[in-house]
Amino acid sequence: MWREELLGVLKHVGQGTIAPVAYDTAWVACLPHPDDPTRPAFPATLQWLWDHQREDGSWGADTPYYHDRILSTLMAAVALSTWMNDRRTRRQVDAAQRAVWQYLAGLRRDPYDTIGFELILPTLLKTVRQRGFHLPYSSFDQYARVREAKLAKIPPALLYSPRTTTTFSLEFMGDGFDPGLGAGLLIENGSIAASPSATAYYLTKAPEETAAWEFLEKIVRRDDGGVPAVAPIDMFEPAWVLYNILTAYPEPSEVSRIAQLQIQHLRASWKGGEGSAMNSLLFSPDLDCSSVVFRVLSQIGLRMDPRVFLRYEEQDHFWCYPYERDPSISAHVHLLEALHVVETGLSERERLQQKALGFLDKARTLQTFWFDKWHASPYYTTAHAVMALGRDADNSALVADALYWIANTQNPDGSWGHYQVGTAEETAYCLQALLAYRRDGGNVDRGLVERAAAYLIDSVERKTLDYRPLWIGKSLYTPTYVVHSAVLSALAMYEDLC
């Protein structure tokens, strides 16, 4: 039953399905109509924002991630105040400001900043200060210093290059954008780095770009006014869905036959010597996507050149993107999984493995589990690490501590959830890890497994595909079918146990 449903996810895999987010929706809502600047270009986005303000006055994901809440709330308040000054809007904007005061202290609790936060926030604060928002501006001074340090690492000429990640957060440039230098930034689908918010910002500087308008019109129509955090994700989505399918199907022959379209797309979009990016239109491959794509294509029998991983090597770790502030822990995990399937063509394999393992050993939180900058929950990275490390005797201490932590943090209802509430996604990752370890001959408490499976079977999130946002972009978002495939993968593995 669950195996068939898991394979059925492939029918939905294409450009990528992401639930709308407030931050990008607000940026698009700010745009004036190109023929009449007194009215919004996309009024449906304003309606979406009106409908999605939280009871405490904030906007953002259900998951209480404070970087997300603050950016989303400030940007949504800017969007509403751009077009309306009625009593209802003033109440909404006042409530938004109070929410920012409440969330300020929470920034220290988040394990990582959201993408581009240190670049975007100082610019956004300048905007709301000009609007007269009453906020604790001096409390955010540290981000101006972090921003300066970040920009100091990047050659100025590369700020306008589609090969650097700063273009994904192009709105950080504020009044400093040079349209002449930015003329070549649009990618094939009319967007700036596949980011709706960056594209909306670009249109405030270059409103004549019809391809950018068409890109935004298409995504606004898709979700009745709500806008996703990124579009498309035509490499990330199929790669991670196949990752989850192959976790449940160690024998890949059936998967290879059914997933021909996805496999061909991943192979055709692989950039020799560089790897893969989140989507096939981007010019900046990264270690995380490259590792997962390499692994799934190798598992189904394609020959891939493993020397691609040498380009990401640093002295004591691997970089995911150039000029990044923090290495990605999950990218090291997925690199290990990719190296596991390398049979020939990489004499440096053992050195790379030992370097990745050494980094993971040092990167543990409380010497027990792992967080990562791409996902708000430690269960994602820790579960994937357990599966990557396996039952190798050299890794036994790392695995044992992680499994002990997973086993002792299960909720009474069978779920796992780092943010006080159990979620289907986090439960799926833990169940995958436990069952993969058991499949390799490890000892796992069957009660843990059965309670987790029962929770997933009954999960409202699974039945409605309305999963809580946990993935870290400029705000928290949900790649729906990536998450759904993880849930079904865990249940398919449980089905084998039964």
What integer is the mean pLDDT of 109-138?
A: 96
* Buried b / exposed e along 457-469 (16+ C-beta atoms within 10 A): eebebbeebebbb
- Bigger pLDDT: 223 vs 111: 111
C-alpha distances (whole Å) from 222 to each of 24, 44, 60, 218, 267 are: 14, 11, 20, 6, 28
What integer is the mean pLDDT of 350-375?
A: 95
Q: Which two tokens stand for residue 144?
A: 């101006």
pLDDT in tens, 17-31: 999 999 999 999 999
Residue 15, pLDDT score? 82
Which residues sit opposite 318 in a β-bridge?
Answer: 313
Residues near 457 by beta carbon (within 8 Å), at least 6 away in sequence = 491
CA gap 6, 248 in Å, rounded = 9
Residue 130, pLDDT score? 95
- Bigger pLDDT: 465 vs 282: 465
CA gap 179, 185 in Å, rounded = 10
Which residues sit opposite 172 in a β-bridge?
Answer: none
What integer is the mean pLDDT of 390-419?
A: 91
pLDDT in tens, 216-240: 999 999 888 999 999 999 999 999 9
Q: Are 334 and 381 in contact (CB under 8 A)?
A: no
Residue 401, pLDDT score? 94
Nearest to 134 by CA among 102, 105, 98, 106: 98
- CA torsion angle 322 326 327 329 (round to 10): -140
CA gap 478, 469 in Å, rounded = 5
Q: What is the pTM of this model?
A: 0.96
Candidate from 60-69, 233-242, 275-284 with smallest mean pLDDT: 275-284
Candidate from 153-162, 173-182, 305-314, 438-447 with smallest mean pLDDT: 153-162
Dihedral over Cα of 78, 79, 82, 87: its sign? negative
Q: Are 225 and 24 in contact (CB under 8 A)?
A: no
**Is 190 exposed, middle or buried (CB count within 10 Å of its CB: 0-12, 13-18, 19+)?**
middle
CA gap 390, 434 in Å, rounded = 11
Q: Are 197 and 231 in contact (CB under 8 A)?
A: no
pLDDT in tens, 138-150: 999 999 999 999 9
For tokens 């929410």, the residue is 99
What integer is the mean pLDDT of 431-443?
A: 94
Residue 189, pLDDT score? 95
Which amino acid is residue 478, in one-letter code?
Answer: T
Residue 343, pLDDT score? 84
- Bigger pLDDT: 416 vs 152: 416
Residue 356, pLDDT score? 96
Reply yes or no on whether the pLDDT at 393 is more than 70: no
What integer is the mean pLDDT of 485-493?
A: 98
Which backbone phi and psi does 167 adopt, to 5 degrees?
Answer: -70, -25
What integer is the mean pLDDT of 144-161?
A: 89
pLDDT in tens, 248-264: 987 788 888 899 999 99
What integer is the mean pLDDT of 84-107?
A: 94
- Supply the mean pLDDT for the chain: 94
Residue 215, pLDDT score? 97
What integer is the mean pLDDT of 381-398?
A: 87
Residue 161, pLDDT score? 87
CA gap 473, 278 in Å, rounded = 12
Q: Which two tokens stand for residue 97?
A: 């400001």
How many CA atoms within 13 Å lie on the side-chain side of 352? 26
Write down all domains in the chain, each with its CATH number in brackets: 2-13+232-497 (1.50.10.20), 22-222 (1.50.10.160)
CA gap 451, 412 in Å, rounded = 8
CA gap 240, 271 in Å, rounded = 18
What integer is the mean pLDDT of 162-176?
A: 92
pLDDT in tens, 322-358: 889 899 999 999 999 999 999 888 899 999 999 999 9
